[in-house]
Amino acid sequence: MRQDSFWVVIASLASWQCTFTSPLGCSGWNIASTSQRFHHIFEFSLKRPSVFSLLATVEKNANGRSIESSPTNSNEVLSGVAEFERWFAAIPGATCESSLRHDDFGNLRGLTCDPKALSSTKVWMTIPRSMVLQSDFSESDWDAKLSQELWKELQKRPSACTISGYLALLTQGSSSWRDGGDNVPQSTAPDALRHWSTEEKALLSKSTSGKRLLDLENQQNGIWKSKFDNLNNNTNMTWEQFVWAMEVVHSRAFCGDFGIGAGSSVSTAVTVAAPLVAGIAGFAYYVPFHGQNDAVLLALAAVAAVPSLLNVVKQSTPVAVLLPLIDSANHLEEADSSIEYSSLNDSFTLGGGPKCVVKESSGKPQLYISYGKKKDTELLLNYGFLRGVPSDGDSSTRRRKLAEKFLSNNP
């Protein structure tokens, strides 16, 4: 019995991180999965067009973190990538598997990798919370508040902004919005339905399913307008700038009860210290001093379990988070990806299985993440893509093909 009690203490020590690495999903999403991306009719996209090539050069900071850098490209949609990667490499605690880098996948920016290298490591990326924006997902205006925080960061000088590299990627390297006035960065989801012209939407209006989709767009626009009107707008955002920021949030944010929201019941210090102290004390009592009292060992095991018990009693509220680099991966429904949060290093991590990597027709492997099964209405409303419709060609051609595909799938 005494030996069993001792190993209860040690097991508690080994399990302290699990308290936080299985965030609860929203609306029935799987635990610790990237399918925790927001599940409602106003969905959003990870797909962003761009064309660029990369240098084989790898930048490393003093701590050995590495991420391959990209050369400056004349195409404006590619601008900002090199600055993002330099910024990421300089953030303490930020890591990525060395083969991961941005690349061009037929007019679509994504992440390429070495599949063998990924298969040999559990964690592909580590994103410290110091480079993450968040808001309380339990509040009805979570997206408006997160959008406002994002725009506040955009107004700061690069030297005063903690997420300057991430903003460079979002704004495609442009700084025209810093001049004030009504300037707006380019869209992060350019083929989302809100950007279609009246003529491009005309094909959808010929069917019942298409009319329902257009009605959903009008509803979303009304909801966003109401949130904009009710916003404490101390950033002086215009409506167009607000829409841009909301589109970023709805195309990139992840949601979960990561143990970092309001009402989180246990601090990082307690989470780490309780099982650590109990484990050391149990080891010292049982091994060097040959402790014979089961009650002492069981009491130490109870101390080690305190953080877990408190988190069961009182869960923190779910939060919405913007995770740089992780959100650069494109979507594949069947990708077996997983996002976790660890209180030990106050960071988010991305990992997954073999279904996350697909060899494209160009021969390049692409890293995907999944945000669950989505309807075509969700995809067109905010993502601006449908499976099976290529992302190349001019915008009018792409949107015509998207409309035709939607009507074919939804007669």
Give the per-residue pLDDT at 245.
96
Domain of 257, CATH number, reads 3.90.1410.10
Q: Which domain holds residue 86?
A: 32-261+318-409
pLDDT for residue 63 is more than 60: no
Q: Is residue 201 part of a domain?
A: yes
Q: Is residue 173 part of a domain?
A: yes
Query: Beta 109-112 vs 319-322: how paired, if at all?
Result: unpaired
One domain, residues 255 and 269:
no
83 is a domain residue:
yes
DSSP β-ladder status, 330-331 and 365-369: parallel
Shared domain for 156 and 287, answered yes or no, is: no
What is the structure's pLDDT at 93?
A: 95
Q: 293, 286 in Cβ contact below 8 A?
A: no
Are residues 153 and 275 both part of a single domain? no
If asked whether residues 167 and 284 sit together in one domain, one would say: no
Q: Quote the pLDDT of residue 301.
A: 65
What confidence tens digit (pLDDT) does each residue in 4-43 have?
Answer: 544 444 444 444 443 333 333 332 233 343 434 433 323 3
In this predicted structure, what is the pLDDT of residue 303? 60
State whether 46 and 176 are in the same domain.
Answer: yes
Same domain, 280 and 223: no
**Higher-confidence position of 167 and 11:** 167
pLDDT in tens, 168-218: 999 887 776 665 667 889 898 999 999 999 999 999 999 999 999 999 999
Q: Are residues 38 and 131 in the same domain?
A: yes
